[in-house]
């Protein structure tokens, strides 16, 4: 009897242990609740991460308010002009652009058609026209232009003054083939403020029905086109012989610096076919110092034509 009682007690104890084991097992989740659990878990991870990140962030310090320096307004030097000015300049400034503020040395970058002489002259002029630096470089002629970079060094007496970068080329007879100018502000000290070249990469003149190397007959060269003046000075048009002597000339005036159409004629007289250079130029009236060779020229554009009787 005692043996039966012990066996019954052991059996009841085993049943109790099995019941506890079943009750402590986790309740399985329905299949459609799994995404919800994942989402909640992810949100909890990001919340914990945010809390930890905020805990280790340094204390934010308010920066002092910087009052912007008002920009200096310069006169417009690259106005929008009519369609048709698509010929890239023979002397093309890439950097600096118009009215850039520059300290010495100026990092000048250009694309150049060197001309028949295959020499290019780089001049830096002060506001009165005095020569601050001149560099002469041999450059092989390339019809599409060749990249050239030079350093122009200078010293100015004042803190700043207006200046001009002037680049010129000549043909094989020594006549000016092209000349272009970039106005800049020269500073004795300070950092550079470089402006883009804008539409000054194009020639300032366009002809209708006339190209380099054309032949003309009948004693009259008819000219028609549009011009974008550099300033309010007259435009001088000349036919130059190989020795530089003009055989015909015209002076055209414009009402401002916006593009204008023009039409004129250049009469000439030759006894045999003669090669001449058609030259269009403007002067810079602000220069008080005159270069004995380049005068006060601010822009020169030329074409070669053959004059027939």
Which pLDDT score is estimated for 303? 95
Structure confidence at residue 92 as a pLDDT band (50, 70, 90): very high
Structure confidence at residue 157 as a pLDDT band (50, 70, 90): confident
Q: For position 243, which CATH number holds?
A: 2.60.40.2550
Q: Is 39 part of a structural domain of the chain? A: no
Which pLDDT score is estimated for 84? 63
What residues make up the domain containing 264? 91-307
The answer to whether residues 172 and 117 touch, using CB atoms and an 8 Å cutoff, is: yes
**What mean pLDDT comes out for the span 127-150?**
91
Q: Is the pLDDT of residue 293 over 50?
A: yes
Structure confidence at residue 211 as a pLDDT band (50, 70, 90): very high
Least confident of 137-141, 142-146, 241-245: 142-146
Which pLDDT score is estimated for 39? 34
Distances (CA, A) of 119 to 6, 149, 153, 266, 301: 123, 14, 20, 30, 16
Burial of 188 (C-beta count, 10 Å sphere; 0-12/13-18/19+)? middle
Q: Is 198 part of a structural domain of the chain? A: yes
Which pLDDT score is estimated for 29? 40
Which pLDDT score is estimated for 123? 98
Q: Is the pLDDT of residue 100 over 80?
A: yes
Q: Is the pLDDT of residue 115 over 70?
A: yes
Which pLDDT score is estimated for 141? 78
Q: Is 124 part of a structural domain of the chain? A: yes
Q: Is 70 part of a structural domain of the chain? A: no
Write the pLDDT tens digit of every residue in 278-291: 999 999 999 999 99
Name which residue leads in pLDDT, 234 or 9: 234
Q: Is the pLDDT of residue 57 over 70?
A: no
Q: Is the pLDDT of residue 42 over 80?
A: no
Name which residue leads in pLDDT, 172 or 19: 172
Least confident of 140-149, 157-166, 268-277: 140-149
The answer to whether residues 87 and 205 touch, using CB atoms and an 8 Å cutoff, is: no
Average per-residue pLDDT for the chain = 79
Name which residue leads in pLDDT, 9 or 160: 160
Q: Is 44 part of a structural domain of the chain? A: no
Structure confidence at residue 207 as a pLDDT band (50, 70, 90): very high
Structure confidence at residue 65 as a pLDDT band (50, 70, 90): very low
Q: Is 4 part of a structural domain of the chain? A: no
Which pLDDT score is estimated for 73? 37
Name which residue leads in pLDDT, 6 or 276: 276
Q: Is the pLDDT of residue 137 over 90?
A: yes
Structure confidence at residue 7 as a pLDDT band (50, 70, 90): very low
Q: Is 59 part of a structural domain of the chain? A: no
> What is the total count of domains within the chain?
1
Q: Is 68 part of a structural domain of the chain? A: no
Percent share of the chain, pLDDT over 90: 64
Range 126-131, long-range pairs (CB < 8 A, 24+ positions):
126/156, 126/161, 126/163, 126/186, 127/161, 127/162, 127/163, 127/286, 128/287, 128/288, 128/289, 129/284, 129/286, 129/287, 129/288, 129/289, 129/290, 129/291, 129/296, 130/289, 131/289, 131/291
């Amino acid at each position: 009897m005692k043996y039966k009682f012990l066996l019954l007690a052991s059996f009841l104890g085993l049943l109790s242990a099995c019941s506890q084991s079943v009750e402590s097992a986790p309740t399985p989740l329905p299949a459609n609740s799994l995404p919800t659990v994942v989402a909640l878990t992810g949100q909890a991870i990001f919340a914990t991460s945010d809390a930890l990140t905020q805990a280790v962030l340094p204390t934010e310090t308010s920066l002092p308010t910087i009052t912007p320096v008002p920009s200096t307004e310069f006169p417009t030097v690259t106005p929008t002009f009519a369609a048709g000015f698509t010929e890239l300049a023979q002397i093309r400034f890439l950097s600096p652009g118009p009215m850039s503020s520059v300290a010495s040395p100026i990092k000048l970058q250009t694309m150049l058609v060197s001309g028949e002489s295959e020499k290019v002259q780089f001049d830096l002029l002060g506001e009165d026209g005095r020569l601050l630096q001149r560099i002469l470089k041999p450059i092989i002629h390339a019809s599409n232009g060749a990249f050239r970079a030079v350093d122009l060094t200078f010293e100015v007496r004042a803190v700043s003054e207006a200046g001009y970068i002037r680049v010129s080329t000549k043909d094989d007879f020594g006549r000016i083939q092209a000349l272009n100018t970039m106005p800049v502000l020269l500073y004795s000290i300070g950092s550079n403020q470089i402006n883009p070249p804008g539409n000054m990469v194009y020639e300032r003149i366009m002809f209708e029905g006339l190209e380099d190397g054309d032949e003309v007959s009948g004693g009259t060269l008819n000219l028609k086109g549009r011009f974008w003046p550099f300033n309010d000075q007259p435009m001088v048009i000349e036919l130059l012989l190989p020795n530089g002597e003009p055989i015909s000339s015209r002076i055209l005036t414009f009402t401002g610096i916006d593009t204008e159409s023009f039409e004129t004629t250049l009469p000439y007289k030759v006894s045999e076919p003669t090669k001449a250079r058609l030259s269009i130029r403007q002067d810079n009236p602000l220069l008080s110092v005159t270069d004995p060779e380049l005068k006060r020229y601010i822009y020169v554009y030329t074409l070669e034509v053959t004059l027939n009787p």
